[in-house]
Structure 1
Amino acid sequence: MIFTYNKEGVGDVLMVIVADSGDAPLDVERKGKVARVFRTDRQETVAWNIFEVSSLLAIDGRGQVFLSDSDVAVLNQELQQEGFSETLLHDSEPKFVVGEIIEMVAHPDSDHLNICQVKVAADKVIQIVAGAPNAALGLKTIVALPGAMMPKGNLIFPGELRGEKSFGMMCSPRELHLPNAPQKRGIIELSPNEVVGTAFDPTKHWQG
């Protein structure tokens, strides 16, 4: 779930993105201050727009914002009051973390992609299809997990590359908008001493 807010550019509207709509046709159902955006092919909710949200919450920042459990509870109360039966499930886990490539094989249908098994927590390994030229077994890097919003605004959701499932993205310094980032391809290379699963901290993980 991704929360975005841009009062100057969009207005006093909190956008809550809950699923990847892909290229599916969309429609909107609005009740009071709440609009539900859903896929018309299977009626699946992909986003919510909460209008006049500053009357409900104090939100700081622009772009992706992070809410507390109590904030989400207020939003759920608003959804219920407007007559919606669905609820927002809050996920407060970090979406940019230290990951380690523990297995890597060439993609069978590509001359530059690799299928990587990436450890992103002590008990969690995910598959990521990547084309970074410096990807290597044992490399520690920064991983954007599903639910992440990149600095340019693109969203990370599970997907496929050339028929292989991919559940995140290993990030380059340029993609993370880090200062003095090299303007070339290649994921960020961290010290081998970094702890897998640690939340990304630009001041700690980048010395550019």
Structure 2
Amino acid sequence: MNLFYNKNGVGDVAFLQLDPAEGEFDYHQFGDVVRITQDNKVTGYNIFNASQNLSLEGNGHIKLTPELVEQLQQTINDAGIDDKLDSDLSPKFVVGYVESKEKHQNADKLSVLKVDVGNETLQIVCGAPNVEAGQKVVVAKVGAVMPSGMVIKDAELRGVPSSGMVCSMKELNLPNAPKEKGILVLSDEYQVGQPFFEE
């Protein structure tokens, strides 16, 4: 679930994205709330006059808090929509530990990793030339919004399921990122599962 708001750029409208989707959408307006669906599944909402109902600070990608999710839920319900927001506010950029690395069966330059992120172990397909078992790395979990605007989702890469992404400095938009390809390898003092960014 991602919230975008830019009053100066597009007016007093908040865009709540539940699931990244492409293609044709259906739009149904209920007062100040537009419910966006695709194949009868809700993918998001546009909320007009957003500043009257929501505590919004800043522009662009807005950090969701329990209070803001409650305000969004109230605004949607007040418009006569019975939908319940399912909000996972856990950190999306976390420290992971690469437990194992195996060669991808269908691609020479890809590896299949098992990465411990604290509360679960993810299978992630990675193309970085410098990734190895035993490293601590930055993992963008499913639902993370990269600085480029790309949303991380479950995928299949050359037939192998992948849940998340092991990140480079450039992908994280960190200063002084090297030009050569490769993931960011963290030092040992980082704890597996801890948020990489202050969120």
Q: Same fold (TM over 0.5)?
A: yes
The aligned counterpart of 1:104 is 101
Structure 2 counterpart of 1:125, one-letter code: T
Q: Is 1:82 the equivalent of 2:86? A: no
Q: CA deviation at 1:62?
A: 2.2
The aligned counterpart of 2:114 is 117
The aligned counterpart of 1:132 is 128
Give me the whole-angstrom Cα distance separating, in 1, the residues matched to 2:155 and 2:8.
32
Deviations 1:137-188 (A, max 9, x none): 0111111111111111111111111111111111110111111111221111
Give me the whole-angstrom Cα distance separating, in 1, the residues matched to 2:109 and 2:12.
44
The aligned counterpart of 1:186 is 182
Classify the secondary structure of the residue corresponding to 2:29: strand
Match of 1:69 among 58, 66, 71: 66
Name structure 1 gaps, 5 residues minimum. 203-208
Classify the secondary structure of the residue corresponding to 1:9: helix
Q: CA deviation at 1:97?
A: 0.6
Give me the whole-angstrom Cα distance separating, in 1, the residues matched to 2:15 and 2:107.
37
The aligned counterpart of 1:28 is 27
Q: Which moved more, 1:57-66 or 1:129-138?
A: 57-66
Q: Is 1:152 the equivalent of 2:148? A: yes
The aligned counterpart of 1:5 is 5
Question: Are the equivalent residues in 1 in contact too, given 2:54–2:68 (CA < 8 A)?
Answer: yes
Q: CA deviation at 1:27?
A: 1.6
Give me the whole-angstrom Cα distance separating, in 1, the residues matched to 2:7 and 2:130.
39
Q: CA deviation at 1:76?
A: 1.1
Q: 1:49 to 1:197 in 2, by over 3 A?
A: same
The aligned counterpart of 2:90 is 93
Classify the secondary structure of the residue corresponding to 1:45: strand
Question: Are the equivalent residues in 1 in contact too, given 2:125–2:157 (CA < 8 A)?
Answer: yes
The aligned counterpart of 1:38 is 37
Give me the whole-angstrom Cα distance separating, in 1, the residues matched to 2:11 and 2:183.
35
Give me the whole-angstrom Cα distance separating, in 2, the residues matched to 1:9 and 1:161.
36
Structure 1 counterpart of 2:102, one-letter code: V
Moved over 6 A (4+): none
Tell me the TM-score normalised to structure 1 length. Answer: 0.90
Q: CA deviation at 1:194?
A: 1.3
Q: Which moved more, 1:66-75 or 1:154-163?
A: 66-75
User: Percent identity of the aligned residues?
Assistant: 39
Q: How many residues align?
A: 198
Q: CA deviation at 1:198?
A: 0.8
Question: Are the equivalent residues in 1 in contact too, given 2:55–2:68 (CA < 8 A)?
Answer: no
Tell me the TM-score normalised to structure 2 length. Answer: 0.93
Classify the secondary structure of the residue corresponding to 2:117: strand
Structure 1 counterpart of 2:144, one-letter code: A
Q: CA deviation at 1:111?
A: 0.8
Structure 2 counterpart of 1:174, one-letter code: K
Q: 1:163 to 1:86 in 2, by over 3 A?
A: same
Give me the whole-angstrom Cα distance separating, in 2, the residues matched to 1:149 and 1:171.
12
Give me the whole-angstrom Cα distance separating, in 2, the residues matched to 1:7 and 1:110.
45
